[in-house]
Chain A
Amino acid sequence: MVLQALIFPGLLFTAVIGLVTSWIDRKVTARVQMRVGPPFLQPFYDVIKLMVKETCVPAGGAKLLFLSAPVIGLVAVSLASTIIWRSLIAPDQTFVGDLIVVIYLLTMPALAVVLGSFASRNPLASLGGSREMKLILSYELPFVLAVLVPVIRTHSIRFGDILLAEHAAVAAPSGILVLIVAILCMQAKLTLVPFDAPEAETELTGGAYIEYSGPPLAMFKLTRAMMLFTMPMFLVTVFCGGIVFGQGLGTALLGILKYIGLVVVIVLIRNTAPRVRIDQAVKFFWGPMTVAALVAVILALVGK
């Protein structure tokens, strides 16, 4: 179990695939902007380089919290990925309520960013942290409502039952509606454009991460890359029937294609949308997104 959490499908596996995914993100972004883009190993170089850099702790900051916040995020996303992949590999061996556990674990990295930014005692970082907090409050409501639809359709809060259901959630109108809601919530969970107000390179110069350097920054970058892998996997598992192993290469490949499709959607949204203000983001998630998710929940309850 420890081995699973650390190597496959936990920390190491998620980190490697996550960094490869972040390379896909950067490369596609470069191609959209008519550039060549970074080499394949670039995300790995970035992390290795940050590992050998000096760690600066800002004077007057809460040192212990400042240094432990990145670890919290990293551990949470590794555990979430482990649980999701274990249920993909052996859908009948998962425990009851793992869906709830993963929803909580996927919120932890964002909370770690909030903690780290407030611990750094930098005004720009705390501004970024407060925006991150507002963003969490806004997207969690429609996200949980969206996840409710497959739960209603399968009468279970186990990944295994959702995966082994006869039809995936997207086979029904309510499923299609919540998938769209969940994709937009995922964009905010990953704090990518248009919901990147907490980082806002041009106004907050890195926002929540502004005081981080060296290994803690590497951990945050790694957490972000791993989230870029885990979030689409979560959506594929819950809404699209997951990746089915053991039924030939074709079905497994189809599952991987679902994942790549979601990643491409994320990258294209990120490259074609401008950043929204934080109040616009809150209005967007509590208004249209929550209403859409509620409509989908009612549709699911009447069996559509």
Chain B
Amino acid sequence: MSFGINALTKSLWVFHLAGSPCNNCDIEILDALTPKYDLERFGIVLIGSIRHADVILLSGAFNKKAVIRAKHVYAQAPKPVVVIAVGGCACTGGIFRDSYNIDPPIGKYIPVDAYIPGCPPKPEAMISAVVKLVGKLRGK
């Protein structure tokens, strides 16, 4: 299995699941994939279908209705799959944490492997989180 995990860490295909974010985190996520940072150097590519995903990126404060869909999407992903919460809202609920329709954090519903705080987090912060996560997966 460790051989498989090694191959997984060298070829992370990212599925971006937006739970009504304000788009700031989305823009920064796309920033990390642009030519300046070029995550394809490490085999990281953005893909469109959850069935191809190795990483699920969560962004935004998931409200009670979105959480149901997020759990559905997580169940559809082929395992092993890694979940990363990007931005203050996905990590803690952010400024919406006291809203009537939000029950943060999302980690209560989906097993989250890494939290990247920030409003929005810089691409450097995301790359650093991915590096730490890859280290943790290989160490397992």
Residue A2 at the B interface, CB < 8 A? no
Q: How many Å from the CB of A203 to the closest CB on chain B?
A: 9
Residues on B with beta carbons closer than 8 Å to the beta carbon of A271: none
Flag if B48 contacts A206 (CB, 8 Å): yes
Residues on B with beta carbons closer than 8 Å to the beta carbon of A48: 4, 7, 11
Residue A250 at the B interface, CB < 8 A? no
Query: Complex Cα distance A212/B80, Å?
Result: 15
**Interface size, A (range):** 20 to 34
Residues on B with beta carbons closer than 8 Å to the beta carbon of A34: 35
Query: Complex Cα distance A34/B7, Å?
Result: 27
Residues on B with beta carbons closer than 8 Å to the beta carbon of A279: none
Q: Which of A30, A46, A51, A205 contacts B38 (CB 8 A)?
A: A30
Query: Complex Cα distance A214/B35, Å?
Result: 29
Residues on B with beta carbons closer than 8 Å to the beta carbon of A42: 10-11, 43
User: Which of B37-71 touch A at CB < 8 Å?
Assistant: 38, 40-41, 43, 47-49, 51-52, 54
Flag if B78 contacts A37 (CB, 8 Å): no
Residue A56 at the B interface, CB < 8 A? yes
Query: Complex Cα distance A204/B76, Å?
Result: 18
Highest count of chain A CB atoms <10 Å: which of B3, B38, B52, B54: B52
Residues on B with beta carbons closer than 8 Å to the beta carbon of A212: 51-52
Which DSSP category, helix, strand, loop or mixed, fits chain B's interface?
A: loop
Residue B130 at the A interface, CB < 8 A? no
Flag if B40 contacts A37 (CB, 8 Å): yes
Query: Complex Cα distance A177/B47, Å?
Result: 38
Residue A275 at the B interface, CB < 8 A? no
Residues on A with beta carbons closer than 8 Å to the beta carbon of B78: 53-56, 213-214
Flag if A49 contacts B40 (CB, 8 Å): no
Closest to A55 in B: B78
Flag if B49 contacts A53 (CB, 8 Å): no
Residue B140 at the A interface, CB < 8 A? no
Q: Which of B1, B3, B49 contacts A205 (CB 8 A)?
A: B49
Residue A39 at the B interface, CB < 8 A? yes
Which residues of B come within 8 Å of A, CB atoms? 1, 3-4, 7-8, 10-11, 35, 38, 40-41, 43, 47-49, 51-52, 54, 76, 78-80
What would 14 A/B residue contacts be, using CB atoms closer than 8 Å? Answer: A26-B40, A34-B35, A35-B35, A36-B40, A38-B41, A41-B10, A52-B3, A52-B7, A53-B78, A53-B80, A54-B79, A204-B48, A205-B48, A211-B51
